[in-house]
Amino acid sequence: MAYLFHTDADRAQMLASIGADSVQQIIDQQVPQDVQLQRSLNLGDAAGELTLESEMRRLAAQNSSASSHACFLGCGAYDHFIPAAVDEIASRGEYYTSYTPYQAEVSQGNLQVMFEYETLITQITGLAVSNASLYDGGSAATEGVLMALASVRNREKVITSEAVHPEYRDILEAYLKNIGATLVTVPVGDNGDSSAIISAIDEQTACVLIQHPNFLGRLEDVTAIADAAHSKGALLVQSFDPISTGLLKRPGDLGADIAVAEGQCLGNPLQYGGPYLGIMACREDLVRRLPGRIAGQTTDRRGNRCWVLTLQTREQHIRREKATSNICSNQTLLALRATVYLSLLGPEGLRETASHCLRKADYAKRRITASDRFDIVHDGPVFKEFVVRDRSDDVDGLLRHAESQGILAGVALGQFDPSMNDCFLVAVTEKRSRDDIDRLAAVLSDAPCRSAVASA
């Protein structure tokens, strides 16, 4: 059956060695009769590979995707190009069928990759230390806040902003609810400046969590916020876009103490939201509060340089309830992909990619607003994402229309904030061709209106 090995002859020999008549007897000797399931699981019949493949192809064909449609969706997950070498390497069994490197001698491949990943993350964050990865950008943001709370003693206030990804804030709220921390969420001012956040910071503040570029695509004044936080003894946790570091100053350069990010954009597929890659880096002095696995360099008994899991005294399998975090896995396979991706891009490739995103986003803005129906909500610089207002206030109809024309045009913002019901968020990566963008603009401007365009 499927992947099983034992033939009838094997079974007989094995039972004889065990001294049991049957596997059922082995079960009966351990599992009380009254809790044994007296029927088969109701999960249908076994399906052979050919059957399963036919079904899955049919099912997959029912979904639109960034392959079938031109994708302008963002919100923390982006359709960036993934070079073929990334897939080639990550599909090697020695990587994807191995486990956490408990035995360093037979895990130097994974351990060296983790060490290289950590180094690359310090290079794109401008911070001294990185862990070997966390679950995703959202939980990484929350772990960053928890780490700050643990580092700054006796303060319980956490400040964040509505310009941080709403889902990230949902996670933060769920985690903080039971541990006695106070979450203050500062509204986004119309002018988009940082004064509201800065004025919220006080002596009770353990940390500030911001996102730059922010959820709506805008650039924040990170340095001013960092200075304000530091002046009150608080830490700054910055969620950033790894691709943006090809052009923008890095979190560490801007004054962030802890940087977190969604690493999906670094060579990882969209796959409806996961598995993704949580990036986290911090200042050197915070290292013993850093959650998750960490690989470090050492030497072996023969004096050869090598790599091991280290600082494990922070971890749950030793510290149990005193651990810095309950996380005991890391996303090695996705971190591997990010490592290969960044190796292939190098500094110039990352700059080129960031620059294409930026300039294509700018082109898209101009093309979309060629139609009277659409405004760009915010002035000022963005990186690869921006908010469009539909003056006809029919975002849902607009996006459904675009879908039918082969375009995933944007994310409706009303689902996060009713005041933005007439807005949607458009992301433009280097993969979107001029033709894609022109078609997007044409499809949007040609879309039927539920109502006439509101007067300007």
Partner 1 sequence: QATNLLFELSRPGRRAHRLDDLDIDSPDVEHLIPDEHRADQPPPLPELAEGDVVRHFVGLSTLNMSVDTHFYPLGSCTMKYNPKRNERLASLPGILDVHPMQSEGTTQGLLALLYDLQNMLAEISGLPGVSLQPAAGAHGELTALLVAAAYFRDSGEDRKIVLTADSAHGTNPASAQMAGFKTKAVKSNADGLVDMDDLRAKLDDQTAVFMLTNPNTLGLFDSQIKEITDLVHQAGALIYLDGANMNAILGITRPGDFGADLMHFNPHKTFSGPHGGGGPGAGPICVRDFLAPYLPSPIVDKDDQGTYRLRRPDSSIGRVRSFFGNVGVLVRAYLYIRTYGGEGLRRVSEDALLGANYLLSKVKHIMDVPHGERCMHEFVASATKLKKQHGLSAMDLAKRILDYGFHAPTVYFPLVVDEAVMIEPTETESKETLDAFAEALFRITEEAGDLVHQAPHTTRISRPDDVTAARRPVLRWQPKSETD
Which range touches partner 1 (CB under 8 A), out of 34-42, 154-162, 183-191, 441-449? 34-42
Bridge partner list, 417? none
Per-residue x/- mask for partner 1, residues 126 to 155, rule CB under 8 A? x-xxx-xx-xxxxx------x---------
Is residue 355 a contact point for a copy of itself (CB under 8 A)?
no
Binding partner selected for residue 52 from a copy of itself, partner 1, none, CB under the kind-specific 5 to 8 Å limit: partner 1
Per-residue x/- mask for a copy of itself, residues 300 to 339, rule CB under 8 A? ----------------------------------------
- Selected from 342, 377, 398, 441, the binder of partner 1 by CB under 8 A is 342
3-state secondary structure at position 102: coil
Whole-number minimum distance, CB 434 to partner 1, in Å?
A: 5
For residue 115, what are the CA distances in angstroms to 35, 134, 158, 268, 310?
Answer: 47, 15, 31, 19, 11
211/186 Cα distance (integer angstroms): 13
What tokens does 351 get? Answer: 């700059």
Is residue 54 a contact point for a copy of itself (CB under 8 A)?
yes
Binding partner selected for residue 400 from a copy of itself, partner 1, none, CB under the kind-specific 5 to 8 Å limit: partner 1
Question: Which residues between 255 and 284 bind partner 1 (CB under 8 A)?
Answer: 262, 269-276
Q: 62-81: b or e for each residue (b if 16 or more CB lie within 10 Å)?
A: eeeebeebbbbbbbbbbbbe
- Selected from 182, 191, 199, 326, the binder of partner 1 by CB under 8 A is 326
110/99 Cα distance (integer angstroms): 9
- Selected from 347, 433, 434, 454, the binder of a copy of itself by CB under 8 A is 433
Is residue 65 a contact point for a copy of itself (CB under 8 A)?
no
Is residue 418 a contact point for partner 1 (CB under 8 A)?
no
CB 413 within 8 A of CB 387: yes
409/273 Cα distance (integer angstroms): 18
Question: Which residues between 79 and 108 bind a copy of itself (CB under 8 A)?
Answer: 81, 83-84, 88, 91-93
Write the DSSP symbol of residue 324.
Answer: S
- Selected from 186, 236, 294, 407, the binder of partner 1 by CB under 8 A is 294
